[in-house]
Amino acid sequence: AQSVTQPDIHITVSEGASLELRCNYSYGATPYLFWYVQSPGQGLQLLLKYFSGDTLVQGIKGFEAEFKRSQSSFNLRKPSVHWSDAAEYFCAVGGTGTASKLTFGTGTRLQVTL
Amino acid sequence: GAVVSQHPSWVICKSGTSVKIECRSLDFQATTMFWYRQFPKQSLMLMATSNEGSKATYEQGVEKDKFLINHASLTLSTLTVTSAHPEDSSFYICSAHQGLAGGGGGYEQYFGPGTRLTVT
């Protein structure tokens, strides 16, 4: 069974500081990996995804993530956080196929201090 | 990008009544949609996979007779919570699956904005 672990429930960073959100996955084959962001009371917005190819993927809003197969990780990074980045971040794993289900991690709540 | 809408965005109903939530893909066709449930400050839990023209596939522990799913067209899936009780109060989110152009098996799930259900 596929699973996702986000070890950090809550992270606080200062505006302008760098950010790294951790994500570890468990999947029996090559995973499809996603990072989503959710603002309070809202749906999910896709930040970036990895299917194959270059293991460093660029996303929207200045985010990037690196797929490391040997560590079963897909950590999300941003070099300089903005106050508007405060939200809940979810890592998800899915498989191949035309209609693969996604399994989400428990989320990391990001707080940004000014 | 692709847009998914949900209606209503919030609903309050009395215990014992039924409520229907609609999920629409506005600018693409989705043979597969997914329904999730999210409790406050928690992650998304997949309830069921909605397949156009066929029965939904429910996750273990989800009561199929309580959460009725109908995917009648390529752009619309509905979730009906029957005989709602206060414990059904939650945030329900749908998503629509879209394969990416160029093949390779890539895809995305586009999420709706969610529906807040409160059962009194």
Tens-place pLDDT, residues A6-22? 999 999 999 999 999 99
CB A74 within 8 A of CB A33: yes
Question: HEC profile for B65-118?
Answer: CCEEEEEEECCEEEEEECCCCHHHCEEEEEEEEEECCCCCCCEEEEECCCEEEE
The pLDDT value recorded for residue B102 is 67
Asked if A52 lies within 8 A of B104 by C-beta distance, the reply is yes
- Smallest CA-to-CA distance from A97 within B37, B51, B36, B35 is with B51
The pLDDT value recorded for residue B104 is 65
Q: How confident is the model at residue A98 (pLDDT cuts 50, 70, 90)?
A: low
The pLDDT value recorded for residue A99 is 54
User: At residue A109, does pLDDT exceed 90?
Assistant: yes
Asked if A41 lies within 8 A of B43 by C-beta distance, the reply is no
Task: Please give the C-alpha separations between residue B119 and each of A42, A44, A108, B82, in angstroms, as whole numbers.
Answer: 20, 24, 28, 11
Q: Which residues of chain A have a CB within 8 Å of the CB of B99?
A: 98
Q: Which of B42, B111, B116 sits opposite A44 (nearest CB)?
A: B111
Tens-place pLDDT, residues B33-68? 999 999 888 889 999 999 888 889 999 999 999 999
The pLDDT value recorded for residue A71 is 95
The pLDDT value recorded for residue A29 is 79
Q: What angle do CA A69, A74, A80 make, to 5 degrees?
A: 140
Distance CA A105, CA A7 (A): 9
Place of tokens 């794993």: A93
The pLDDT value recorded for residue A60 is 95
Q: Which residues of chain A have a CB within 8 Å of the CB of B32?
A: 98-99
Q: How confident is the model at residue A51 (pLDDT cuts 50, 70, 90)?
A: confident
Q: Which of B31, B107, B113 sits opposite A43 (nearest CB)?
A: B113
Instruction: Indicate which of B107, B116, B117 best probes the interface with A, i.e. most A CBs within 10 Å of its own CB.
Output: B107
Q: Which residues of chain B have pLDDT under 50?
A: none
CB B84 within 8 A of CB B16: yes
The pLDDT value recorded for residue B52 is 87
Distance CA A103, CA A28 (A): 13
Least trusted range by pLDDT, from A54-63, A78-87, B104-113: B104-113
